[in-house]
Chains A and B, each alone.
Chain A
Amino acid sequence: MNDFIAQLLEANGHRKTRLLAILRAIQATYFHIPKEAITLLSRSLGLPVSHIISVVDFYSFFHSTPRGQYDILFSDSITDHMLDKQSLMNYFSHQCQVGIGQVRKDGRVSLDNTACTGMCDQGPAALINGYAVPRLDRPKIDLIAKLIEQELPLAEWPETIFQVDDPIWKTGLLLNSRLAPGESLLAADARGLDATLNEIDQSKLRGRGGAGFKTALKWRLCASEPEQERFVVCNADEGEPGTFKDRVLLNRYADWLIEGMTLASLLIKSQQGFLYLRGEYLHLFEPLQAKLAERRLNGLLGDNILGKGWSFDIEICLGAGSYICGEESALIESLEGRSGIARNRPPYPVTEGYLNKPTIVDNVETFIAAAHIAIHGGNWFAAQGTEQSSGTKILSISGDTPQPGIYEVPFGTPVAAILEDCLAEDVLGIQVGGPSGTFISNREFHRRLAFEDLPSGGSFIIFNKQRDILEIVRNFTHFFADESCGFCTPCRVGTILLSEQIDKLYDGYGSVGDIVALQELGHLLKTNSHCGLGQTAANPMLNTLARYPEIYQSKIKFPHFGPGFNLDEALQAARKIAHRDDSEAHLSQSGD
């Protein structure tokens, strides 16, 4: 192990900021992070043991006890459930003789759940040793089980198992455009860098991750900082359940993205960029590295770009299973090799970001839009969309539609038109912008996709009338509890209490005070939490409670007072200890 770690540290330049990459390699080799490894890293990186343990503890892809040689994680998104995920997972468990959440005794295989893996258009999906496996069905599971029993290395498995498609159903302004490598950089040079930033301003481009901050303003603020060392960061950590458009963009249009980041580096005068890629997209890591290498070879990245004396390079950093790292300041913490905990703001990243230096953090789609705007000008972009939301939005549509995939639509498009495009019928409601966004009912399809009406980072999950609202809410609420970083009290404790409260209703133990309690707790989370995760964690419940109060009411079995749990079940442990199972050792539920 000493040699392995020494080489690993060498390859990562002994940089503390590379801690996640180092731990990823250790996890992949030893199926966990051994204690000796932590001690070695602590000594060589000069980090306290407790710091490294806290990072291992924080990210869901790191483990302090060994996982199986083949570690299988089923995606737990609501869309996976809608595609029969649970019965497939049970089938896998049976075929591989491994319990859910467990490691098989021989250490060969382990099985567990993970948050949405960004394959909602081709679920149910799983990760095998971090690599995406979409479109699971029983024959595919049979094949995987066989390969595991044969102990065949993953590299020798049939490629079809890992085949990820890029279903693009509707293209628009951006996806219909062309961009020759270097074209936008040359256009920016010809127009002048200040004039190019003015064009981006003119385009009224706003951040595509969902928050919608004006891109030109952000870049200008960063460029005006006195500190000369500045950073360009691409947020490719799309973890919002139901979002996968960046996956497609990274696979098909990586050149555009890198071009957009390089353009940004010219405009804010930065020499170093980072592409923070969510750990679930490990399959994109090598292709993206190859693309960066190709651009370096062609003089489009590195020193003296296009012979113009510009210098800029990009490093890819993989996440390790944490939704909160999509929040820009948590992402920066993660880039620095720490747990992803959102910073106190101000200061904002434009003034104190990566290593406390001025940093812009933008979404994949934002950089791509900027690259095209540099060529075609601001008016070209602003000609589409609405006054406050210019241009188009690339949506990831999943759920109850015969055509899940990517749709590029102008901002301002009514929801009804989007549903027509994707041939969705019999729709009950839509989760626009993912769990942290808005749930709309079928009485609101006149509403428009726009920052001023229905904002969305890209997630658009359709539910038909056969779906159970409370089941959806339950899935989303548990997701937030699992992903809460735990820093602030309202979110750390509130998301758990909210999950318990929803479960209580779902399981049929709700009484009349529970709905008031839900509302109160939801409001507390929304107003008092430290960051967006806690502030939006109650949205699925609050949105659906406002729209379907009758569904919540119908779950209340005890109108006045009722036990919050199954009395008889709770006595099971006592019966076991007392070796009793006679009728006197059982209780009937009051109200039965």
Chain B
Amino acid sequence: MTQTFMLDGLAIPFEDGQTIMEAAIAAGHYIPHLCYHPDFTPYGSCKLCNVNVNGKICAACTFPAMAGQTVISESEEQNRDRQRITQMLFVEGNHFCPSCEKSGNCQLQGVAYHLKMTDDHFNHQFPHREIDASHPDILIDFNRCIFCALCVRASQEEDGKAVFAISGRGINKRLIINSDSGQLKDSELTVNDRATHICPTGAILIKHTAYQVPIGDRQFDHHSISEVSMDQDSSAP
């Protein structure tokens, strides 16, 4: 007999070893997320996928599915907290959507649309962060990094390179590059690496490709992140 748990009142089947997120996606249910990606080891840092599991808040991407769990994801309370967490991500960095070439394809923006976020709510931190444009093909704008570590994981797990690491602590967290100079040009990163294409925001960009798709014709201009994400995540190997 298949094991199941309850997600927002629906029975979700799962296999041993699956997380709540994996089982939910397999059953066709979207749980908002940014640091989760089906191809890489779950990380659990963004906390957007926090769900209520038998009264306790857990990250759906790391918490194992277990028979008999009652999981609440689409409640007013969870989505309000998700909106606040998204607002935190916006105010801790420098996210100026109108001038960002990732606008329309940015998952942070997509999640914000999905959660009906209309303001930043909190005080902006306006941190001073640099841009690394040293690489001939790739640009990093650290202002837009949300520390999801997807580039860290993609580089390690798929590219076998460990080009990136998350350094620092607390609000002084920073993305760093594994090279003696600390610059991207001296790292092993190439334009064909998975890590180059994995950034959910506009922090890692490929040069000479901006605006090939006009604003207005981009992913989240026409489709909600819940649709786009379900298409991509469930088709992953």
* Chain A residues within 8 Å of B, Cβ to Cβ: 39, 48-51, 53-54, 57-58, 322, 339, 344, 346, 481-490, 492-497, 500, 520, 524, 527-530, 564
Contact = CB atoms under 8 A, between A and B. Distances in A.
Q: State the 6 A-B residue pairs at the shortest beta-carbon distance, nearest first.
A: A50-B165, A493-B88, A50-B178, A54-B167, A486-B173, A344-B62
Interface string B170-213: 11111011111000000000000000000000000000000000
Interface string B121-151: 0110100000000000000000000110000
Contact of B176 (A53, A488, A520): A53
B59 A50 contact: no
A489 B89 contact: yes
- Interface residues of A: mostly helix, strand, loop or mixed? helix
Contacts of A57: 167-169, 172, 174
Interface residues of B, number: 40
Interface string B48-78: 1010000001010010100000000000000
B114 interface: no
B45 interface: yes
A496 B44 contact: no
Contacts of B166: 54
A537 B84 CA distance: 17
Contacts of A490: 47, 85, 88
A322 B46 CA distance: 22
Contacts of B62: 344
A492 B170 CA distance: 5
B59 A344 contact: yes
Contacts of B48: 489
B104 to A, nearest CB: 23
B172 A486 contact: yes
A527 B80 CA distance: 13
A54 B167 CA distance: 4
22 contacts: A48-B165, A50-B165, A50-B177, A53-B165, A57-B169, A339-B169, A344-B44, A346-B64, A486-B170, A488-B47, A489-B146, A492-B173, A493-B125, A495-B171, A497-B88, A497-B122, A524-B84, A524-B85, A527-B57, A527-B81, A528-B85, A530-B45
A48 B171 contact: no
A483 B122 CA distance: 21
B162 interface: yes
Contact of A344 (B42, B89, B91, B125): B42
B47 A489 contact: yes
Contact of B45 (A53, A346, A489, A494): A489
Contacts of A49: 178-180
Contacts of A500: 123
Given A500-B123, A530-B45, A493 B171 contact: yes
Contact of A486 (B147, B162, B176, B179): B147
Given A50-B165, A528-B50, 5 more contacts: A51-B178, A57-B169, A492-B92, A492-B171, A524-B85
